[in-house]
Structure 1
Amino acid sequence: MVYDIYSWDKRVTAERINLAMDRISQIREEDDAVCADVKFKDFFVELASFLEKVNDIRKKKETGEFEALSFEELTDIQNELFYDLREDIYAGSVYNPDVLEKIFDKDFVSPFLSLGFEVRAALITVFEGDFEGFVNILELFLQVYGTAVEGASAKEITDVIYWYASDYLDITARKRIIENFTASNRFFYNIIMNDDLSDLRYLFKFGEYIGSNEINTAKYLNSLDSETVRLCAKTFVDGYRDGFFAMQKDITKRSVVSLVYNIGFERIVKEAVIFFEDMGFEVVLQRKPYRLADMSPVKNRGICSGGVNRQFEYDHKFDMNIFTKKAYLDRKLEVCKRTFEEIKEDMSKYGGPALMESFGEREFLPVKKKSANAFSEKQNNLMTGYRNELMLLQDEYIDTSGTAFCIIAWPLPSIAKDEKIYSNIFDDIIRINTLDVTKYKDAQQKIIDALDKADTVSIVGGVGNKTSLTIKLHELKDATKETNFENCGADVNIPVGEVFTSPVLKGTEGTLFVKDVFLSGYHLKNLCIKVKDGMIEDYTCENFEREEDNKRIIDDAVLKGHKSLPMGEFAIGTNVIAYNVAKKYDIFEKMPILIAEKMGPHFAFGDTCYSHEEDNITYNPDGKAIIARDNECSIRRKTDIKKAYFNCHTDITIPLAELGDIYTNEPDGIHTYIIKDGKFVLKGSEILNE
């Protein structure tokens, strides 16, 4: 069903836009005496100038002039729109918290940062035709400007932004949820399915910053033959479908899939949409959250580009602190529940997400600025509580025992020095993503049979790696019918190649060390995590000179706002081919965790792989029930579900080159080596070394 997400009166909205823009256009010419504090004027003039440029885009789209612009003209317009955010300009930009701190009293920095970020969202509202959202942003800007020039306090300005967010929750929260679970917003779909993708001007229709990765990705995909593109798409869609079969779920009861990808991969996405529709699925294509009311400091999933400047995004990740209050979050939950009820029939058909990730972007080391907005401990707890409540509420409308998912990853051009090397890497990733599953499942079953005899498993690092971990396994009541480990093929997590379990926390302890790992967009160096009774006890890395900065980047990449997390997963990756490809091109630190986790043992901190599905027993190909689905945290769902889940799951892999040994510790004192000196040595698993 298609829901109305735009409910405004077009004539009235157009009048409001014209009135607002007339007023905004006057700000630049106003006498300095108008402002109670003249230093406010430069800030508002910069934001007003951006809004005028956005309005020019609106006019060009209305007249059809935008469609006729050349690639070069579109590039020039983009450069004007994003000029202030460019890495070489940002140091002096009014969107930079350090700049605002030098201009304004400290209390004004926070609301002005939030205002600046929300004003930037006006661009996307215009591209998507959300003119109600556009005029609301214009009127917010004018209200804050009018309040500021009259000499208002920082609190009064903050209140204006708070009530703006609160008053429009019925619109913003409802719209976001409907876009999450229904195909009511056809913006991306119409461009992908109807535009000529060989004409790269289509990229500029999305309203996102289009950089060299987006352009060169689209250009490269256009050079591939149709069969190769279809193979990439079919592998992805087949993985989603096979996930239902692997988890013994009835796919015929689901008919909606949300597809997320990075802009530039439209040619593959178009074929994937066709395959999904042939399966009877409606495809939801939703943008990454771009308005403060929709954003989370932890996870913002959706279609997007690589952006113009990741430091800008990092500086503004907590700008919603202005309205992160209990009353606001309680009201937002009420709107969410009302909307879930409105679309409950569609939510019952939701089959889960299909995620097409990308990797190979330039290394980013975020700079934590004291001038930037931040959450207090109280706000962090409030947001964590809100996210937990929202997930529980959502589970009332989506029976997750019947959902699946699929994740696949493709390289970006920035991973290589030139087009030829990129082409070779892409070809090898296609090969990795389409490997024969049978060979791996047979060898992995031999590994599982050995692991199931153990009480604990020991993991020891190789030369230069400080890892020394003991993993406590669940007790099997009947080893002929039960197993601790799942034999993972190439369904939900592509490519093939791992066996995994949920460890018992008590008795799981030691040190996890990795020289280089890429997590949540961050390249961590010499990551070291201490574990006691399955929980993170301490952690550090060597990215920065100051220890507080090292801990902060791990907080962002791993802990996700929590003080500690349990080890929710222990796995052994078996895809040596993927490891050899990473070695061949020297791209270990750029490999996404999706592929990296198949290249050696890995450990996930957060929820288990069976989060919210602990009681939905699944079976391995040999018919044994996978019983290791809970740990001491998740089992709390039976007494206090709010304390059971963390809503995060971050995998950390030890590459085979850094690995020493993995061996079992059986109750009778027998030790069986799975891996020795970085090589599979268990009888029947040696084929994995090829």
Structure 2
Amino acid sequence: MFNDNLEERHNLSIDRIKEISQNAELDNEELARFYMYEAKFIVKLDELYNFCKSGKLNDYSLEELQKLNKSLYEELDPKLYDTCYGNPKYTCGIFGEDLGRLLSFLYVELRGLIVLAFEARLDEMVALQELFIECYLFGNNVNELKDAIYWYVSDYSDDLIEERIKELLDPDEDFATRIIMDSDLTDLRYLYKFGEYITDNELKTAKYLNSLSDEEINSMARTFTEGYRKGFELTGKDITKKKTVNIRFCLGFERLVREEIKEFAKIGLKPTIYRAAYNSINKTISGAKVGYYGAIANKQFEYDHKQDYALYFNNDFVERKLGATRLAYEKYKDLASVHGGPAVMEVFGETPFEPENNDFSYKLSDKQQKMIVKFSNEASAIVNNYIKGEERSFTIIAYPTPEIGDKFEEIFAETVKINTLDYDKYKTIQEKIIDALDRAKYVEVKGQNGNTTDIKVSIMKVNNPDKETVFENCLADVNIPLGETFTSPVLKGTTGRINVSSVFLNDLKFTNLTVDLKDGFVTDYSCDNFKGEDAGMEKGREMFKANVLYNHETLPMGEFAIGTNTTAYVMANKYDIVYKLPILIVEKMGPHFALGDTCYDRAEDVKVYNPNGKEIISRDNEVSILRKSNPDKAYYNCHTDITIPYDEIGNITVVDYDNNRTDIIRNGRFVLEGTLSLNDPFNE
């Protein structure tokens, strides 16, 4: 990867950086202070690289490892963030907006050296060291600095993209797998081998899992891997053609992951496990939390730099990245053809993050927003050409972490219970709901208790009710826990308003979120996250557009569903953790509406059947069907569920073609015959 003469380049760059760390020969005193500070950090990371490479890290005590870990991440402590070079507001206050934002970007990229040192990725370390020296030589020349950063990102993105794709597909890229399988997991020093930020949360998670019996761990692992296997079985896909599965998780869960790796091996699958994005390039490739990850030292810091790629994102860069993606997948096409898809373990328990708006952060221009949509669409099409949607599957499950509070162990046990609810009981109940929904011309959803939801959702017509259905009976397979019936709604006629008092979407908390739709497409949206009538509303709109619409001007409603997992809802309210739960569980706790692609995206032609043998015919909508005539317009490459809790639902009513009305939920409770037992948890 990268260039030859790596050791020579490494030695030359480190020698120069050591000189800068002692004396930055710049006229601007503040700028000299910045470069000396960063040079000392780079020298420290070079020492860490050599230390890790020597194997001496294995001799450190737990206390020494904790001290080392803290020293690497402590400057990102929220209490220190006001005077941190990673804060664009701070650097812009010192150096002015143009230079300040560039230096803050450089600060962020250099933090990637931490994980590179642990993995001994000398090539990437040298590239960053050389970038630092080049930037130093340009001093406060903003244009030269921009060019240096642009060409660094452009020149190295080809190699980084190839490396990222190889990590996804090749089980021999096993840095994390070896730690998980070879370490004594009762010796918590292993957590510090990953190089991620480790807090009490990760330590307590690992300790708790170590306290569970082998039977409990084995049962949890089988629930996960069996859900993955069923995902292939229920969609008629041949899992025996697959050789790898991509496992994604939060550090602390290694004992469970180890057992899952063993269970996957029984069905012929080897793990690919790679790190979540650690620099700007990787974040534009795969997203910040796609992979394994530790604690986030400062969420505001992450939010402030979420759109840093606005610095260099242009049409030439897009075309280069797409070309590199094609070449990489072609190079690893044999590995891609046997890749089965992701197996994801989410976590919950943290206090929902409500970001502060930072006016000095980079933001995508309107033109760049269109470019990122183009890139996302075309990159997804490339991936689908090699890891075909009609041949792959996935599974996803969630567990709490100790951050959730003093009742962590109780909540964990309750979550395991929720993840293993009675399959047959829910299958029968949800069939009753689906039978009613299959008669619908549209479904009416209205709010109560201050919720202003008022929407009609158009439903595909069933012409052969003995053999066809429009709602999927979602049980414990790819999407754990069980407890929902969902469809791809007809967009025409799907009109009205969705409102929810508080909801956690894509790691961000939205307060009093309102979304208006007409004929299935978003026409307006607002939230109350930011103060100030006009300025606050605009900032809220920006947050929603960037993090839910993913910079599209609008999105269609890709899914309408009714969650039936009242056990999860009651548990969440009992422990007052409703707004700490991931959407994976929340979507089962009331009706939800997904903005973006349908649940069947890129696999619409694969026939899917409910357990009763009926084919689910509503796999397409008016947008996804464009794949046959105008593929570039068929997908948005996003899907975000917005769930309304039961206590905010006034009614969910089926209206059939004769205008007969049948309530499924009234005043937050199930009233349809055959479903009343779903209300039992409310009464316990």
Q: Same fold (TM over 0.5)?
A: yes
The residue matched to 1:196 in structure 2 has which SS? coil
Corresponding letter in the other structure for 2:244: V
**In structure 1, C-alpha distance between the alignment counterparts of 2:211 and 2:391, rounded to whole Å:** 39
Corresponding letter in the other structure for 1:508: T
Corresponding letter in the other structure for 2:266: D
Task: Establish whether residue 447 from structure 1 lines up as the match of residue 438 from structure 2.
Answer: no
- Is the CA contact 1:53–1:81 (under 8 Å) kept in the aligned structure 2? no
Distance 1:28 1:251, change over 3 A: closer
**In structure 2, C-alpha distance between the alignment counterparts of 1:293 and 1:544, rounded to whole Å:** 30
Task: Establish whether residue 585 from structure 1 lines up as the match of residue 575 from structure 2.
Answer: yes
Task: Establish whether residue 21 from structure 1 lines up as the match of residue 10 from structure 2.
Answer: no
Match of 2:174 among 173, 186, 198: 186
Task: Establish whether residue 231 from structure 1 lines up as the match of residue 219 from structure 2.
Answer: yes
- Is the CA contact 2:93–2:100 (under 8 Å) kept in the aligned structure 1? no
1:200-349 equivalent positions in 2, closer than 5 A: 200-296=188-284, 299-300=287-288, 301-349=290-338
Corresponding letter in the other structure for 1:349: V
**In structure 1, C-alpha distance between the alignment counterparts of 2:257 and 2:250, rounded to whole Å:** 10
Task: Establish whether residue 129 from structure 1 lines up as the match of residue 120 from structure 2.
Answer: yes
**In structure 2, C-alpha distance between the alignment counterparts of 1:92 and 1:298, rounded to whole Å:** 30
Aligned partner of 1:173 in structure 2 is 161
Match of 1:368 among 357, 369, 374: 357
Q: Deviations over 1:47-99 (max 9, x none)?
A: 11211221121122233322111111112112221122111111101111011
Residue 18 of structure 1: how far off its partner (Å): 2.4
Most deviating of 476-485 and 291-300: 291-300
Aligned partner of 1:3 in structure 2 is none
Aligned partner of 1:88 in structure 2 is 79
Distance 1:296 1:444, change over 3 A: same
Most deviating of 255-264 and 225-234: 225-234
The residue matched to 2:390 in structure 1 has which SS? helix
Residue 29 of structure 1: how far off its partner (Å): 2.5
- Is the CA contact 1:261–1:356 (under 8 Å) kept in the aligned structure 2? yes
Corresponding letter in the other structure for 1:320: Y
Task: Establish whether residue 485 from structure 1 lines up as the match of residue 493 from structure 2.
Answer: no
Most deviating of 641-650 and 631-640: 631-640
Distance 1:62 1:254, change over 3 A: closer
TM-score, reference length from structure 1: 0.95
The residue matched to 2:450 in structure 1 has which SS? coil
Residue 298 of structure 1: how far off its partner (Å): 8.4
Aligned partner of 1:97 in structure 2 is 88
Task: Establish whether residue 612 from structure 1 lines up as the match of residue 608 from structure 2.
Answer: no
Match of 1:682 among 669, 672, 677: 672
Residue 7 of structure 1: how far off its partner (Å): 7.5
RMSD: 1.5
Percent identity between matched residues is: 43
- Is the CA contact 1:178–1:343 (under 8 Å) kept in the aligned structure 2? yes
**In structure 1, C-alpha distance between the alignment counterparts of 2:235 and 2:451, rounded to whole Å:** 36
- Is the CA contact 1:236–1:408 (under 8 Å) kept in the aligned structure 2? yes
- Is the CA contact 1:94–1:100 (under 8 Å) kept in the aligned structure 2? yes
Aligned partner of 1:562 in structure 2 is 552
TM-score, reference length from structure 2: 0.96
Match of 1:112 among 89, 100, 103: 103
- Is the CA contact 1:514–1:528 (under 8 Å) kept in the aligned structure 2? yes
Residue 41 of structure 1: how far off its partner (Å): 0.9
Task: Establish whether residue 30 from structure 1 lines up as the match of residue 23 from structure 2.
Answer: yes
Residue 348 of structure 1: how far off its partner (Å): 0.7
**In structure 2, C-alpha distance between the alignment counterparts of 1:511 and 1:338, rounded to whole Å:** 44
Aligned structure 1 segments of 4 or more residues deviating by more than 6 angstroms:
none
Match of 1:553 among 520, 543, 557: 543
Aligned partner of 2:40 in structure 1 is 49
Corresponding letter in the other structure for 1:471: V
**In structure 1, C-alpha distance between the alignment counterparts of 2:198 and 2:38, rounded to whole Å:** 21
**In structure 2, C-alpha distance between the alignment counterparts of 1:7 and 1:336, rounded to whole Å:** 16
The residue matched to 2:548 in structure 1 has which SS? helix
Aligned residues: 675
Corresponding letter in the other structure for 1:290: Y
Most deviating of 348-357 and 637-646: 637-646
**In structure 2, C-alpha distance between the alignment counterparts of 1:291 and 1:669, rounded to whole Å:** 55
The residue matched to 2:658 in structure 1 has which SS? coil
Distance 1:449 1:372, change over 3 A: same
Aligned partner of 1:66 in structure 2 is 57
- Is the CA contact 1:181–1:347 (under 8 Å) kept in the aligned structure 2? yes
1:463-478 equivalent positions in 2, closer than 5 A: 463-478=449-464
Residue 8 of structure 1: how far off its partner (Å): 6.7
- Is the CA contact 1:440–1:688 (under 8 Å) kept in the aligned structure 2? no
Residue 309 of structure 1: how far off its partner (Å): 0.4
Corresponding letter in the other structure for 1:454: A
**In structure 1, C-alpha distance between the alignment counterparts of 2:74 and 2:580, rounded to whole Å:** 28
Residue 16 of structure 1: how far off its partner (Å): 2.5
**In structure 2, C-alpha distance between the alignment counterparts of 1:521 and 1:317, rounded to whole Å:** 12
Task: Establish whether residue 401 from structure 1 lines up as the match of residue 379 from structure 2.
Answer: no
